[in-house]
């Protein structure tokens, strides 16, 4: 594997048909990229890899949070043979659920009810505080303020879609046992959680790779992940770029 070049981290991919209000929130947060722009960048990456005689499927392109948007890229990866797509799925997705992350539930609700992200603070909690809470607490808070859960969100990959992508050669890694900022967790619970995530990933047939939620990790949390069995870890450069380690890949969000 080569990760000397910038490893991209992609969340939502916007097609011309996808124009619901929630997209302006994803854009505001830097979590969305146009399909045409993305395809252009991937083709550029493929060209560079080919010119550099890189090995087949040696350039990693990563997708966080399990969005169904990535299905639009299947034909691109079929023809760009130097690129290796990697899906980082949440614990519930790896367990076979088609489930929505709490913050994404919040963004959809803001868009539907005409609220801006800035308005969320007036409800008594900031996004920063939410990001530190375990997923279950985030969901409970959302339910308390009246945000209904979505039973089976169609914009998240279904288990059969995940299986199809894996069969097409997409690698599957873990987005941790719980999607929140894990830097402040008790190291014993962190080790327990990440060990569970690593063993669930093994059962699934994934690669022992971890993408830190929110791209955030520390020297100490990286050590815990290593002990849990992860052989490669992925952060976001903007969040954790100061940490240097051979098994930590800093990524850039493509938007």
Least Å from the CB of residue 236 to Zn ion: 10
135 touches Zn ion (CB under 5 A): no
Number of chain positions touching Zn ion (CB under 5 A): 2
Distance, C-alpha 247 to centroid of its chain: 18
Q: Which is nearer to Zn ion, 64 or 181 (CB)?
A: 64
**Which range of residues in 18-26, 63-71, 119-127, 193-201 is near Zn ion by CB under 5 A?**
63-71
Q: Which is nearer to Zn ion, 46 or 64 (CB)?
A: 64
Least Å from the CB of residue 107 to Zn ion: 13
**Which range of residues in 64-72, 79-87, 124-132, 222-230 is near Zn ion by CB under 5 A?**
64-72
CB-CB neighbours of 202 under 10 Å: 13
Q: Which is nearer to Zn ion, 64 or 178 (CB)?
A: 64
Q: Which is nearer to Zn ion, 29 or 123 (CB)?
A: 29
Strands 171-174 and 32-34: unpaired
Least Å from the CB of residue 149 to Zn ion: 18
Q: Using CA atoms, how far apart are residues 100 and 104, in angstroms rounded to an integer?
A: 7
Task: Tell the burial category of 133 from Cβ atoms under 10 Å away from its Cβ (0-12, 13-18, 19+).
Answer: middle
Q: Using CA atoms, how far apart are residues 74 and 178, in angstroms rounded to an integer?
A: 28
* Range list of H helices, 68-218: 74-79, 91-94, 102-112, 127-132, 135-144, 159-167, 187-204
Least Å from the CB of residue 176 to Zn ion: 9
Contact with Zn ion (CB under 5 A) among 64, 100, 178, 185: 64
Residue 170 corresponds to which tokens in the numbers above?
């997409």
Q: Which is nearer to Zn ion, 82 or 255 (CB)?
A: 255
**Which range of residues in 56-64, 111-119, 123-131, 224-232 is near Zn ion by CB under 5 A?**
56-64
Q: Which is nearer to Zn ion, 80 or 176 (CB)?
A: 176
Contact 49, 59 (CB under 8 A): yes
Nearest to 67 by CA among 99, 19, 42: 99
Task: Tell the burial category of 55 from Cβ atoms under 10 Å away from its Cβ (0-12, 13-18, 19+).
Answer: exposed
Least Å from the CB of residue 64 to Zn ion: 4
Contact with Zn ion (CB under 5 A) among 25, 49, 62, 65: 65
Q: Binding residues for Zn ion, per CB under 5 A?
A: 64-65
């Amino acid at each position: 594997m080569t990760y000397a070049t910038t490893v991209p981290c992609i969340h939502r991919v916007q097609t011309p048909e996808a124009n619901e209000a929630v997209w302006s929130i994803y854009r505001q947060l830097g979590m969305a990229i146009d399909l045409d722009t993305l395809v252009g960048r991937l083709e550029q990456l493929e060209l560079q890899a080919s010119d550099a005689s890189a090995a087949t499927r040696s350039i990693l392109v990563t997708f966080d949070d399990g969005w169904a948007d990535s299905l639009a890229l299947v034909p691109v990866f079929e023809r760009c043979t130097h690129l290796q797509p990697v899906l980082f799925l949440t614990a519930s997705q790896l367990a076979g659920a088609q489930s929505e992350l709490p913050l994404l539930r919040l963004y959809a609700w803001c868009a539907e009810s005409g609220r801006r992200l800035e308005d969320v603070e007036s409800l008594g909690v900031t996004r920063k505080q939410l990001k530190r809470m375990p997923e279950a607490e985030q969901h409970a808070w959302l339910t308390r303020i009246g945000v209904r859960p979505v039973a089976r969100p169609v914009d998240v990959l279904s288990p059969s879609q995940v299986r199809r992508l894996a069969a097409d050669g997409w690698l599957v890694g873990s987005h941790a046992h719980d999607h929140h900022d894990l830097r402040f967790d008790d190291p014993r619970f962190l080790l327990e959680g990440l060990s569970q995530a690593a063993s669930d990933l093994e059962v699934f047939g994934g690669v022992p790779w971890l993408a830190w939620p929110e791209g955030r990790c520390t020297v100490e949390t990286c050590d815990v992940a290593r002990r849990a069995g992860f052989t490669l870890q992925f952060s976001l450069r903007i969040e954790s770029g100061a940490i240097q380690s051979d098994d930590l890949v800093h990524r850039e969000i493509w938007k």
